[in-house]
Structure 1
Amino acid sequence: MSSALTGLLRHPIVQAPMAGGVSVPRLAAAVSEAGGLGFLAGGYKTADGMYREIKQMRGLTSRPFGVNLFMPQPEQSGAGAGSTTAAGAAPFDAGAVEVYAHQLAGEAAWYRTELGDPDSGRDDGYDAKLAVLLDDPVAAVSFHFGVPSPEVLASLRRAGTFTLVTATTVEEALAVERAGADAVIVQGIEAGGHQGTHRDVPDNDGSGIGLLSLIALVREAVGLPLVAAGGIMRGSQIAAALAAGASAVQLGTAFVPTPESGAAAAHKEALTDPLFVGTRLTRAFTGRPARGLVNRFLREHGRYAPAAYPEVHHLTAPLRKAAAAAGDAQGMALWAGQGHRMARDMPAGELVEVLAAEAGAVWAASAADAEGGAGR
Structure 2
Amino acid sequence: MVDADQTFVIVGGGLAGAKAAETLRSEGFTGRVILIGDERDHPYERPPLSKGYLQGKEDRDSVFVHEPAWYASNDIELHLGQTVTTIDRDARTVHLGDATVIRYDKLLLATGAEPRRMDIPGTHLAGVHHLRRLAHAERLKNVLAALGRDNGHLVIAGAGWIGLEVAAAAREYGAEVTVVEPEATPLHAVLGPEVGQIFTELHSDHGVRFHFGAKLTGIVGQDGMVLAAQTDDGEEHPAHDVLAAIGAAPRTALAEAAGLTLVDRRHGGGIAVDERLCTSDPDIYAAGDVAALRHPLFSATLRVEHWANALNGGPAAARAMLGKDVRYDRVPYFFSDQYDLGLEYSGWAPPGTYDQVVLRGDAGKREFIAFWLKDGQVLAGMNVNVWDVTEPIQELIRSGVRPGAERLSDPSVPLNDLLEA
Structure 2 length normalisation: TM-score?
Answer: 0.27
Larger radius of gyration: 2
Greater per-residue strand proportion: 2
Structure of higher RCO (CA pairs closer than 8 Å, 6+ residues apart): 1
Structure 1 length normalisation: TM-score?
Answer: 0.29
